C-alpha cells in the first residue's frame, strides 16, 4: 500500500468547495418532487444516513448521491483518480458501506429508502416517472 500523501493546498481548496447539501442534483430532484408531492423535509438528522429529502407520513427517505462519491455503476462512478488511488478506493468503499447500513436501518424502522444517482438526471422523464410511481 502506498504511503499517504498530504494533498496540495489547491486540491484541499477544491475538496472544501464540495457541498454536502443543496447540490445541483439535489435541487433538480426537489423541483421534480415539488411538482409531484410537495411537503417534504430536508436533511432529517434524526434519521439514519440523514436523508436529503424525507416524507414523514409516507415514511419515504430519499438520498441524492453523486455517482463518483458513492461508487455508482456508471461511467462517472466507475472512474477512479490516478493520484492516491488506494485512498479513494477505500473512501468510496466506506461510503457505500455507510449507505447500505443506513438503508438497512431505515428499512428496519419501517421507512422506504430511495437512492437517486446524479446520472439519472440525464433522463428527466424517466426519473419523473420513477418518482411518480413512489407516490401512486
Q: Is the pLDDT of residue 118 over 70?
A: yes
22-39: b (≥16 Cβ within 10 Å) or e: ebebbebbbebbeeeeee
Cell, residue 13: 481548496
How far, in Å, CA of 65 to CA of 51, rounded? 10
| Cα angle 103-108-111, degrees, rounded to a multiple of 5 | 65
| Angstrom distance (rounded) from CA 112 to CA 61 | 6
Highest-pLDDT range among 73-82, 96-105, 127-136: 96-105
Nine-digit cell at 117? 444517482
Find all residues with CB under 8 Å of 66, minimum gap 6, and list them: 23, 25, 117, 118
pLDDT by residue (tens digit) across 2-26?
566 677 888 777 767 766 677 889 9
Averaged pLDDT for residues 25-41: 92
pLDDT for residue 56 is more than 80 = yes
pLDDT digits (tens, 9 = 90+) for 36-51: 998 899 989 999 999 9
Q: Which three cell numbers stand for residue 30?
A: 426537489
Distance between CA atoms of residues 40 and 72, nearest Å: 25
Instruction: Report residue 1's pLDDT band, with 50, 70 and 90 as the boundaries.
Output: low
End-to-end CA distance of the chain: give it in Å, rounded. Answer: 50
Q: What is the pLDDT of residue 104?
A: 98
* 117 Cβ contact list (under 8 Å, min separation 6): 65, 66, 67, 70, 72, 74, 77
Which residue ranges form the domains of the chain, and what is each CATH number? 21-134 (3.40.960.10)
Q: What is the pTM of this model?
A: 0.83
Summarize the confidence of residues 73-101 as an average pLDDT.
89
Average pLDDT, the chain: 89
Amino acid at each position: 500500500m502506498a504511503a499517504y500523501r498530504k494533498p496540495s493546498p489547491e486540491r484541499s481548496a477544491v475538496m472544501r468547495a464540495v457541498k454536502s447539501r443543496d447540490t445541483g442534483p439535489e435541487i433538480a430532484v426537489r423541483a421534480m418532487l415539488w411538482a409531484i408531492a410537495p411537503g417534504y423535509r430536508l436533511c432529517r438528522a434524526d434519521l439514519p444516513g440523514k436523508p436529503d429529502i424525507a416524507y414523514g407520513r409516507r415514511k419515504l427517505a430519499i438520498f441524492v448521491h453523486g455517482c463518483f462519491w458513492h461508487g455508482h455503476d456508471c461511467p462517472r462512478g466507475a472512474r477512479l483518480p490516478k493520484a492516491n488511488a488506494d485512498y479513494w478506493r477505500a473512501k468510496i468503499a466506506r461510503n457505500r458501506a455507510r449507505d447500505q447500513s443506513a438503508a438497512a436501518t431505515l428499512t428496519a424502522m419501517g421507512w422506504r429508502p430511495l437512492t437517486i444517482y446524479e446520472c439519472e438526471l440525464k433522463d428527466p422523464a424517466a426519473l419523473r416517472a420513477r418518482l411518480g410511481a413512489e407516490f401512486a
